[in-house]
Amino acid sequence: MLINATSLVNIDRRMKLADAIILSNSNVICVCETWLNEKINSSELFLYEYKIYRKDRKTENEVNIHGGSLIAVKTSLTSEEFCINEIESCVCCKIKIEETEIYFCTMYNPPENSKYRYSAECFEKLLNQLPNRKPLIICGDNNFPNSNFDILTSTDNYEQEVLDLFEDRLFLQAVNFPICSINTLDVASYQNCSLHAEPNLKFDQIYNCSDHKSILLSIELPHTEAKTTLEEFRSFGSANYNDINEAFQVKPFSPTCHSKIDKMAEELYHYFDEVVKAHVPRRTAHRQQLPPWVTPSTSNLLRKLNTQKNLSLTKPTSYRKQKVVELENIVQNCLETDKKIYQKELLGTRDTQVIFKHLKSLNKSPSLPKTMFNDEIMSCENHEKVNMLNDFFNSVFSPKEEFSINGVENKEPSLTNFSVFKQLIREFLETLNVRKTRGPNGLSPIFFQQTFCSEEKTLKQS
Residue 88: CB atoms within 10 A of its CB come to: 20
Residues 286/294, Cβ–Cβ less than 8 Å:
no
Residue 71 pLDDT level (bands cut at 50, 70, 90): very high
**Residue 383 domain-assigned?**
yes
> According to the per-residue pLDDT averaged within each range, which of 38-47, 144-153, 266-275, 313-322 is highest?
38-47
Helix (H) / strand (E) element for 108: namely: strand 100-108
Measured between alpha carbons, how far is 447 from 238 in angstroms, rounded to an integer? Answer: 11
**Residue 410 domain-assigned?**
no
Same domain, 213 and 77: yes
Residues 271/451, Cβ–Cβ less than 8 Å:
no
Residues 379/388, Cβ–Cβ less than 8 Å:
yes
Same domain, 207 and 287: no
- CA within 13 Å, CB half, 251: 8
Residue 401: CB atoms within 10 A of its CB come to: 5
Q: Which residues contact residue 382 at a Cβ distance below 8 angstroms, ignoring those fewer than 6 apart? A: 368
Tell how far CA 46 is from the center of its chain.
39
Residues 88/212, Cβ–Cβ less than 8 Å:
no
What pLDDT is attached to residue 290? 80
User: Percentage of residues in the chain with pLDDT exceeding 70?
Assistant: 84
Same domain, 126 and 154: yes
Residues 339/346, Cβ–Cβ less than 8 Å:
no
Measured between alpha carbons, how far is 121 from 87 in angstroms, rounded to an integer? Answer: 11
What pLDDT is attached to residue 456? 59
Same domain, 190 and 102: yes
Residue 77 has pLDDT above 90, yes or no: yes
**Number of domains observed in the structure of the chain:** 2
Residue 137 pLDDT level (bands cut at 50, 70, 90): very high
Same domain, 276 and 176: no
User: Percentage of residues in the chain with pLDDT exceeding 90?
Assistant: 29
Single-letter amino acid, residue 362: L
**Residue 402 domain-assigned?**
no
Domain interval for residue 245: 236-396+417-458
Same domain, 281 and 372: yes
Residue 122 pLDDT level (bands cut at 50, 70, 90): very high
Measured between alpha carbons, how far is 301 from 307 in angstroms, rounded to an integer? Answer: 10
Single-letter amino acid, residue 34: T
Q: What is the mean pLDDT of residues 39-68?
A: 85
Single-letter amino acid, residue 418: F
Buried b (16+ CB within 10 A) or exposed e, 314-352: eeeeeebeebbeebeeebeebbeebbbebbeebbeeeee
**Residue 229 domain-assigned?**
no
Measured between alpha carbons, how far is 75 from 17 in angstroms, rounded to an integer? Answer: 18
Examine the fold and report which residue of 188, 220, 252 is the final residue of a domain before the chain moves on: 220
DSSP-derived pairing of the beta strands 28-32 and 2-4: parallel
**Residue 6 domain-assigned?**
yes
CB neighbour class for 105 (10 Å; exposed up to 12, middle 13-18, buried from 19): buried
Residues 460/425, Cβ–Cβ less than 8 Å:
yes
Measured between alpha carbons, how far is 251 from 265 in angstroms, rounded to an integer? Answer: 17
Measured between alpha carbons, how far is 154 from 146 in angstroms, rounded to an integer? Answer: 6
Measured between alpha carbons, how far is 126 from 119 in angstroms, rounded to an integer? Answer: 11
Name the percent of the chain in helix, strand, coil, to the closest 5: 40, 20, 45
Work out the end-to-end distance of the chain between its first and last CA atoms, rounded to an integer number of angstroms. 70
Q: What is the DSSP string of 269-292?
A: HHHHHHHHHHHSPBPPHHHHTS-T
Same domain, 291 and 203: no
**Residue 407 domain-assigned?**
no
Examine the fold and report which residue of 187, 220, 253 is the final residue of a domain before the chain moves on: 220
Measured between alpha carbons, how far is 33 from 92 in angstroms, rounded to an integer? Answer: 15
DSSP-derived pairing of the beta strands 194-199 and 215-220: antiparallel
Q: Which residues pair with 54 in a beta bridge?
A: 70
Single-letter amino acid, residue 167: E
Same domain, 391 and 247: yes
What pLDDT is attached to residue 54? 93
CATH number at residue 74: 3.60.10.10
Same domain, 353 and 250: yes
Q: What is the DSSP letter of 229?
A: P
**Residue 446 domain-assigned?**
yes
Q: Note the pLDDT tens digit of each residue in 332-368.
A: 999 889 888 888 887 777 777 667 767 766 655 545 6
Examine the fold and report which residue of 195, 220, 245 is the final residue of a domain before the chain moves on: 220
Q: Note the pLDDT tens digit of each residue in 166-199.
A: 888 888 889 888 887 777 778 899 998 899 999 9
Same domain, 152 and 9: yes
Q: In the predicted model, what is the mean pLDDT of the chain?
A: 82
Same domain, 90 and 160: yes
Cα distances (Å, whole numbers) of residue 421 to 189, 415, 432, 459: 76, 15, 17, 10
Query: Dihedrals φ, ψ of 21, to 5°?
Result: -70, -45
Query: Which residue, among 124, 91, 125, 121, has the nearest Cα to 108 in the 3D structure?
Result: 91
Same domain, 188 and 244: no
Q: Note the pLDDT tens digit of each residue in 79-99.
A: 999 999 889 899 999 999 878
**Residue 412 domain-assigned?**
no
